[in-house]
Amino acid sequence: ISRDGLIKAVGQADAIRSQFSGASFDSVIDCSGKCILPGLVDAHTHPVWAGDRVHEFAMKLAGASYMEIHEAGGGIHFTVEHTRNAPEEELFNTLRHRLERMRLAGSTLVECKSGYGLNLETELKMLRVIERAKRSMDIGISSTYCGAHSVPKGKTATEATDDIINNHLPKLKELKLSGEIDVDNIDVFCEKGVFDLDSTRRILQAGKDMGLQINFHGDELHPMKSAELGAELGAQAISHLEEVSDEGINAMARAKCAAVLLPTTAYMLRLKQPQARKMLKEGVIVALGSDFNPNAYCFSMPVVMHLACVNMKMSMNEALAAATINAAYALGKSDTHGSIEAGKQGDVIVINSTRWEHLIYQFGGHQALIDYVIVKGKIVYRNEKCGIM
């Protein structure tokens, strides 16, 4: 990897040695007996929020559904209230800490959503925090405006939609032009009782018109025809898809719209598992995300890959592709990230094992397995324990 952070060459050790015999290196890592993998890509997270929801876990275990908790004042609205009241500095410090934990687990590119503000002021506060992390941390970030994550109290879905289109998006466009906040994606929670198909279409189209990639939540709790809508609008990716229709799967395959599957969510909420096998058979580009949020508190893509293999019946090869190159594709970054190829960004992880499969096979074992995390050719994490394991 050269000093500009890009991969200079990939190949057999002897060929590389002779090709670069005259070059000098800032650091050399002996990877004998180890595996080198692309940095993992987490295609779906909600990492900016205040207000822990650990108390809801007991309610879920006792059988309360997502919507029952939502209606009892919990869920998104609980987090929204705490996030609105949290100072920007507090949100930035917790985000930084969470991203560091993701990086320790091998993630080098992470999609980060707003969506716990639901008013312009707090959504912008969240996006500013994500922007600060993007500029100050050694980790790749794809930022997503998710102001349509839920309908704010006191508004109808139509009123919320109008507010987003008439007020939120023009302000975002202004801040993008002035270089203050650079948002990559637009997201809507398309769901029964939240944003219906028509409202979702209006918001996504308005976002697309100002140059944002469409990357939204769809077909999670009820079949909404979200996949069909996303394919029609040219969405880069759709997340969840537990209740997707067969027509929706075919439409996504034809449109090359990635499916971001979230095994943590189905596991936590005891939902029907997404149909990964059917999607793969039909030719859909399947990606994975941790869905890190107060409801699914998971930083680890190795754990996500394990759940994808066991619960969604993916092979280890499919899971690795879904957590690297396909997840990069879901973020529109597969030309620069997600695989070890000359010319791509030098994001790699070194595994302290002769077989890379240990990263998935050892359920929750990444702390002792990941030896190095390298972002843009810079060692951002070195595991002191690995050498003595």
Query: What CATH number does residue 124 fall under?
Result: 3.20.20.140
State the DSSP code for 4.
T
Report strand pairing: 370-375 vs 348-351.
antiparallel
Tens-binned pLDDT, residue by residue, of the chain (389 aa): 999 999 999 999 899 999 999 999 999 999 999 999 999 999 999 999 999 999 899 988 999 887 888 888 888 889 999 999 999 999 999 999 999 999 999 999 999 999 999 999 999 999 999 999 999 999 999 999 999 999 999 999 999 999 999 999 999 999 999 999 999 999 999 999 999 999 999 999 999 999 999 999 999 999 999 999 999 999 999 999 999 999 999 999 999 999 999 999 999 888 899 999 999 999 999 999 999 999 999 999 999 999 999 999 999 999 999 999 999 999 999 999 999 999 999 999 999 999 999 999 999 888 899 999 999 999 999 998 655 44
Q: Could you tell me if residue 66 is inside a domain?
A: no
At 387 the pLDDT is 54
Main-chain phi, psi angles of 312, to 5 degrees: -105, 5
Q: Could you tell me if residue 135 is inside a domain?
A: yes
At 117 the pLDDT is 97
> Do 249 and 359 belong to one domain?
no
* 374 Cβ contact partners less than 8 Å away, ≥ 6 residues apart: 1, 39, 108, 346, 347, 348, 349, 350, 380
Q: Could you tell me if residue 68 is inside a domain?
A: no
At 71 the pLDDT is 82
At 386 the pLDDT is 59
> Do 357 and 323 belong to one domain?
no
> Do 189 and 284 belong to one domain?
yes
At 270 the pLDDT is 87
At 389 the pLDDT is 46
Q: Which helix (H) or strand (E) holds 103?
A: helix 88-104
At 225 the pLDDT is 98
Query: Distance between CA 367 and CA 370 in Å, rounded?
Result: 6
* 15 Cβ contact partners less than 8 Å away, ≥ 6 residues apart: none
Instruction: Answer whether 46's CB lies under 8 Å from 116's CB.
Output: yes
> Do 26 and 42 belong to one domain?
no
> Do 236 and 367 belong to one domain?
no
Query: Distance between CA 2 and CA 185 in Å, rounded?
Result: 30
> Do 360 and 243 belong to one domain?
no
Give the structural domain span for 10: 6-36+346-382
Q: Could you tell me if residue 251 is inside a domain?
A: yes
Query: Distance between CA 87 and CA 83 in Å, rounded?
Result: 8
Q: Structurally, how many domains does the chain consist of?
A: 2
Q: Could you tell me if residue 268 is inside a domain?
A: yes
> Do 297 and 325 belong to one domain?
yes
Q: Could you tell me if residue 59 is inside a domain?
A: no
Query: Distance between CA 320 and CA 336 in Å, rounded?
Result: 17
Query: Distance between CA 244 and CA 121 in Å, rounded?
Result: 34
At 265 the pLDDT is 94
